[in-house]
Structure 1
Amino acid sequence: MKNEEEKNFQLDLLRKVLGSVQDLVVVIDRDLRIVTSNWKNCDSIASIEKQGNPYCYSCLMKRSTPCEPCRLLEVFTTGHCKRFEIEDPLDGKTKLIELSPIFDDNNRVSMVVRHSKDITERKDVEKNLKMRERQHAAVAKLGQQGLSGVELDLLMKESVKLVAQTLDVEYCRIMKQEEDGDFVMLAGFGWEGKEEKAEDLGGEENDNGQNILCYTLYKGEASVVEDRDTKDKFSGYSLLRDHGQVSGMDVLIGRMDKPFGTMSVHTNQKRMFTEDDIHFVQSVANVLAESISRRKNEDRLEKYAQELEATTELKVLFTDILTHDLLNPANIIRGFTEELIILEDDQSKQKLLNKVHKNNEKLIEMMESAAKFIKLESVRDIIFEEQDIVPILEKTIRNFRDCIDKKDIDLVFDPVCSCRVMASPLIEEIFINLLSNAIKYSPEKGKIIISSTCPEDECRVQITDFGPGISDRDKPQIFERFRQADKGSVKGSGLGLAIVKRIVDLHMGRVGIDDNPLGSGSIFWVSLKKAK
């Protein structure tokens, strides 16, 4: 009797509390019957089902038998709270369910309070945030690959794969419009094994820009179709029809006035693509457009460089382009990237900025070296004066002291004698290039030996390093311009050693390379005639 009075007292308190709670809360006894609730806050349960004390599984879960496993029974048995998420069969929304035990005087679970909280909106927000995170990561990955010089075909294949996987759609493709007006698929995900040309995509559908692909090309704006049966722009293209595509989206690759093509995504589910989805696909298309533009520029520069080889006049013009039109923007990029590296806290963005900075520095080095070499090719009046090489070597070492100390390199300078030669001011550039290479390819805490000797009527300077060395196959071509050794043995622009060779030739000297007999590495040597 006492227990029954206590139970009724607890129920009265709960009824008063439940009246102010907006979420659906029910109290369930050990027979799995609902003893009280705030039914008025739940319109998805029919009035007839709320009468009396219905079974919880029947009223709340639309079942004829208890759930398996039954978490309520677990709470009655263990006395521990339970917390889990379900898709509510009453309204199809995502709900957070909390089960809390009520104990009697004997510390036995007499009832369980079931609190149902609608978290659909929160789950949607979480889903959107995760989708954005995946989208940003995909764009960053493709951007990094584009900067690293990945082949354009591979970049396109990786792009369609990443877009399809990130947006969770069945198909993604890149289409290019040929000069004859036909469309060709350059890369596709989900279309494997299909070499589709315009006629296979439905030649009759090129109807003055009415389909989605043509609309995007001609209008220069992204096009989205939620349901193909309601939009003329999705008409045509047997490839889409045959695969049961319902929704799709096209974005432009390249400039509106001179487009390269489109990137499309398609799914066999009815779907309204969001603004974030459109921005994501457009960002990927922009990465591709930049890579395509860079490739075209590289092709144009290569052709341009070949034409510049023809005459001295073109070489002078190329020098002006390097030192003004190209080098100045590169130096501006250097300044901004160095500033951004300091300001940026995000490590992934810092990594991309460092990669941009590193490649820009390499570009500047190549342009400066090319300009020097071209000037050497056109040198006519060079003034030669008697000079001692030893002070020049000492000055060169001082200029590189910071780089030497940074790598903790042990540099040994051992001049045997004074070496007086007839030399021009260009002579210093020889030792700058040779010492720079020795530092660049020496390991941390490595060693460099610089020596000068005077055999017979020559002055000989040797710079010995203990780096990776140069293979016998690469030695014959190492001093040729725009020729590099195998990247496994040495890296560079292919101009530094060509500059050395050109200056040595101007001084009627000799230059060469030998293996380091003391271990790994190389010996670069220069022999110049002594002053008489």
Structure 2
Amino acid sequence: MPSKYKILIVDDEPLNVELLSVYLGDTYDIVTSYNGADALKKVQKECPDLILLDVMMPDMNGYDVCRTIRDEFKMDFIPIIMVTALTGRADHQKGIEAGADEFLKKPIGKFELDKKITSLLRIKEQHDSLLTEKNKAYYYLDYVGVLVAVLDIDYKITHINKKGSDFLGYTFEKLIGREWVESFIPKDSVNAIRKHYDGLASGMLEPYGYCEFPVIISNGEERLFRWYDSPLFDDSGNTTGILISGEDITEIKKAEKQLQEYAIQLERSNDLKDLFTDVMRHDLLNPAGLIKSFVELLVEQESDDYKKSLLGNVNEATEKLIAMIDDAAHLAKLESVDDISFVKINVCSMISDTVDGLMHQVEDKDMDIKVCLNGGCYAVANPMIERVFVNLLSNSIKYSPKGSTVTINVVDMGDKWKISFIDQGDGVPNASKASVFERFKRLHKEDIRGTGVGLAIVKRIMDLHKEIIAVDDNPEGQGSVFWLTLKKDA
């Protein structure tokens, strides 16, 4: 990775270029351009990591520049932020169609600018990492993406995202108003799907429950989708429709079969399964991350409460999808690792950073974090140990009641440190203590967000350290004590 990312700033107003350069110059390498034609030359010559592109420019506007970069230069993964005083939906749609990733309204605030750039560069970094890891299993996956649509109470389409339109092979206008089940579900699945949607609308089925069923696209082909659906409600609690969110898994299913056959021949089924999971993670995270970014942008610009509610449902489903992909893939990668490197770490400093990073969760539940540190405590560990601290503290916060206290103790045990996370939640029954670190085990599912692999990740990291992770009852009352050991730095 470069020491500094390179950002191209394009604006016909020199003062705007100078202001953005001042905002970003300390953090990024800056390249400037004052018209569209010159900007295209700079893109090819400098290969920037991100482009800040003014819309209203003479001769060649920002839309044309963006479209050229995407269509002629075939540079799909350079993040482009359009900087504009135009705020209409049609202007934003035009920008999206041209290939823009984000929008910023003039005048630009430094905080919002930093937030957008950081988010898009993180997505670009994930993509760049994927390019170095592609392998034979990648060719089994031709296309992966997410369809999001809103159905009314009669299951007619009232809204669908561009990815969904592309999947189905119809324009947005031709999809709106069509009855979803009759138009796109194979006849032998119609009754089952209507029963599924009726169950969601009546409250008989839990929202976002996983299911698989096919859809028929414009060329008559059936494609198998994995769905996470949820009912939509008005302010009075009445059901107004169904939010459907699905990913095309047709090729994945074919790939699974091919990978299984290939694994049997090579007697390496576990390795290939991990490889498949890793490729799938990267291909799914990019479109899911883009959906999340666009939804957040729409929420900021939307004033209608009902539409905000719909967007909130989309965002919640996308966040859950991203978390599931990331956690499952991270665990799979950890399970494929046998040896890790060790460095000297400051346990106290790392714990303090962890507490600071989760303080918003603490404040949301009006809780208190009590940290009992033992001066300068240095250990020999891999930097991934920070994820153990984050997962344990996050779990303690999630499963503790409002207004309670979570205590973090670091105790000197001679040649080791014993680090404990003590909560005041419901505790872990004795019968579950042995299985709580297994993947997809979650004792409390009501009103708790999580993927069910967090503690499995913790256990795997501690196994790689050849150290102990365990859970006991809180000796001072209700709750649990999750504790671990780390070897001291000599």
TM-score by length of 2: 0.48
**Structure of greater relative contact order (alpha carbons < 8 Å, 6+ residues apart):** 2
